[in-house]
Amino acid sequence: MRLFSKSALQKKYPLITGENTPILRIVCDEVKKITPEIKQFCKDIIELMREYDGVWLAAPQIDQNYRIAAVTQRDTNHTNRKWEKERKLTDEFVMINPKVLSTSHETSISEEACLSLPKIKGDVSRPDSITIQYMCSKGKTHVHKATDFNARVILHEMDHLDGVLFIDKLVTSL
């Protein structure tokens, strides 16, 4: 992450923060057509995810009203169940108009954080495995199965596209 100066992309797409910021609380519009602008945005959001040192990034987090999110997928065979980027990167991709097809009945509670809510972390319960469908920037439909950390990453980002923040789902102890 750049500590002192913003990149051209960061200036074009500044990171939006704050739990009551309107763009973070809307249901984003579906992408109707893959245009050259959408293809470029998909490239940009992957680069921004790297620049902001994130493991995920959704369009509303950079002030864009699209159902688009960039996610990383990590090695889930790692013995440490921490969500941080200690896990080996296995893939990164952009999801356009993602939809959940199925979720497991089994759930796990794990700590989450968010670039749009700096300095806040909390435990969230999510399904252990999911199957989703999404479109890539080439307009092709994909079905993707994810487990553990990878399922959590995808669901966290899909929540952003529906105006939901992880703090809305915090697990509280009695």
Indicate which CATH number applies to the domain containing 79: 3.90.45.10
Domain-embedded: residue 6: no
Distance of alpha carbon 148 from alpha carbon 126, whole angstroms? 9
**What local confidence, expressed as pLDDT, does residue 76 receive?**
62
Catalytic residues: 157
Query: Is 93 inside a domain boundary?
Result: yes
User: Average pLDDT by consecutive 10-residue portion of the chain (174 residues)?
Assistant: 74 96 98 97 95 90 97 66 52 93 97 94 97 97 93 95 97 71
Does residue 23 fall inside a structural domain?
yes
* Predicted pLDDT of residue 83: 46
What is the residue range of 55's domain?
11-169
Whether 1 is covered by a domain: the verdict is no
Q: What is the pLDDT of residue 88?
A: 58
Pairwise CA distance, residues 75 & 90, whole Å? 6
State residue 9 phi and psi, 5-degree precision.
-65, -40
What pLDDT score was predicted for residue 3? 53
In a domain, 66, yes or no: yes
| pTM (predicted TM-score) | 0.88
Strand ranges (DSSP E) for the chain? 56-58, 68-74, 89-103, 107-113, 121-127, 129-135, 141-147
Residue 174 in domain: no
β-pairing, 89-103 with 107-113?
Answer: unpaired
Any domain includes 62: yes
Q: What is the pLDDT of residue 104?
A: 98
Total number of domains constituting the chain: 1
pLDDT at 55: 81
Q: Does 4 fall in a domain?
A: no
Identify the helix (H) or strand (E) that includes residue 154: helix 148-161
C-alpha angle 6/48/150, rounded to 5°?
145
